[in-house]
Amino acid sequence: MIINKSFIVKPHDDGEFIAEAFGIESGHNNVILNNIEIPDEIPKVTYITGESGCGKSTLLKEVYSKYIQKLEIPREPLFKWGKDEQETLKYLSLVGLGDAVLFMSYYDELSDSQQYRARLLLELLNDNEIIVLDEFLSTLDRKTAQSVAYCFQKAIRKTSKKIVVATAHDDLIDYLQPDLLIKGKAFPSRWEIHRNDTTKILNPYNDIIIKDEDKNW
């Protein structure tokens, strides 16, 4: 499918002097998405990234809005969120909440970044086939974000689910290993589409050397 999105600039009366100063004529067509070709079939992992203001959220809503759902947060400890406690504990670890204290915690007791990871847990436990996430892992420190991204995509690939994520951070490519990578630039608006072969998922942590004393610990 071909995606185009723009809006007409209509300066407010009080802002006409700004429009004149920068040469913006009334009725200027501000193009955000210009002839972006998106595959009709959603691949397993889609990663949308790029500069702030390039139109990531607009693209997300324009193409995938029908899949965006607000899930109700359960009023139970995290380990009771799923139908199967063993599966829930496994997913808790995959989203970076692998701590016994956190297992027994309620959503309101978590920090902002932990709450985000808890919502990822909810997405994994939910029956929705397509998961669409804006500002994906944006609030996490980058090492944690990379680890969670890697575990999250591995979990997704073992299910029938598909994910579409958007974030200004472009440091998750090696960890999400997306089938479809969409990269945007803001000024001027420009988009690149990359389709990747993910038949062989590489482990970005293969070069980590674990010392014998660490293994014993």
Residues 6+ apart with CB under 8 A from 162: 42, 43, 44, 45, 46, 129, 130, 131, 156
What are the tens digits of pLDDT across the range 123-149?
Answer: 999 988 999 999 999 988 999 899 999
Q: How far apart (Å, rounded) are the C-alpha atoms in residues 156 and 82? A: 16
What are the tens digits of pLDDT across the range 4-16?
Answer: 776 666 666 666 7
Q: What is the dihedral of CA 94, 45, 36, 61, to 10 degrees?
A: -50
Name the one residue in this structure whose structure tokens are 């979990």: 155
Q: Is the pLDDT of residue 197 over 90?
A: no
Q: Using alpha carbons, select from 62, 46, 81, 84 the residue that is nearest to residue 165.
A: 46
Averaged pLDDT score across all residues of the chain: 84
